[in-house]
Chains A and B, each alone.
Chain A
């Protein structure tokens, strides 16, 4: 290899140095901006937090309806939405927090109206579920009511999060 081939001129050296430093500076500025820009898209299905809906001692064997507000972060949008749940505590201490959204076409079900005691009833198309939220045969719903994620925390309060279908729960 000749000396001529190995030589780097002053002009080339300065060009390479400036390109390297410039590229590094551009990457330093652009990377966090790109991260902020695309981060919400990467969060599939939005980000829902959990909220306290009352002291666990307020809930007993009978279903009680609670309405609570969750702040939904979906991509760049952030908005409040009011959810409802039918909540009771079984003898073994397990909490049942059922979504009132009918699995037929999305109406809000009622618990134990006069005509349908101890059942969840959908007033839109006469859908029926048993007391555990399991859909009854020969009525429009084809799946049980979804269940809310829940936690009973050290402060003694019941926290509810996102409703999940029984199919997803497995």
Chain B
């Protein structure tokens, strides 16, 4: 389910069973690093969209959370944001391409999916690329639901 006007009516009728919030976390860098930052964001947005399409009936894709430079403040924010969201969505999943968040990830029960882009970040993703990568994360979400 998308966070938009076209989907809101369906969401309102079914929000009790749409229990998984998916939230992209994007590192924003301006200046000379902007191009790579934009490419990485394109991958994260694209994969998040593909996951939402695959699992639209149980996942709501929320607007992205941006941060810059230092990871600690955003981690604290992600923890509190997830706590608040969990009152209406029992699963809160963050999707990012920033390895530094995983390294600093001392939090639980927040779920952080870190996409390993490696060299991919230098190229614009094709629709097929995004679809293929998203497929790898679908089983993670299904297992999460099966655990209850």
Contact = CB atoms under 8 A, between A and B. Distances in A.
A122 B56 CA distance: 11
Contact of B56 (A79, A106, A123): A106
A69 B129 CA distance: 11
A124 B18 CA distance: 9
A107 B127 contact: no
B128 A107 contact: no
B127 A106 contact: no
A128 B18 CA distance: 18
B55 A124 contact: yes
* Interface of chain A: mostly helix, strand, loop or mixed: strand
Nearest to B50: A82
A105 B17 contact: yes
Contacts of A108: 54-55, 138
B54 A82 contact: no
A81 interface: yes
Interface of A: 67, 69, 79-82, 102, 104-108, 122-125
Given A105-B17, A125-B57, 12 more contacts: A67-B131, A80-B126, A82-B50, A105-B14, A107-B56, A107-B58, A108-B55, A123-B146, A124-B55, A124-B57, A124-B58, A125-B17
Interface of B: 1, 10, 14, 17-18, 50, 54-58, 126-128, 131, 138, 142, 145-146
22 contacts: A69-B127, A79-B127, A80-B126, A80-B127, A82-B50, A102-B57, A104-B57, A105-B10, A105-B14, A105-B18, A105-B56, A105-B58, A106-B1, A107-B55, A107-B56, A122-B57, A123-B146, A124-B55, A124-B57, A124-B145, A125-B57, A125-B58
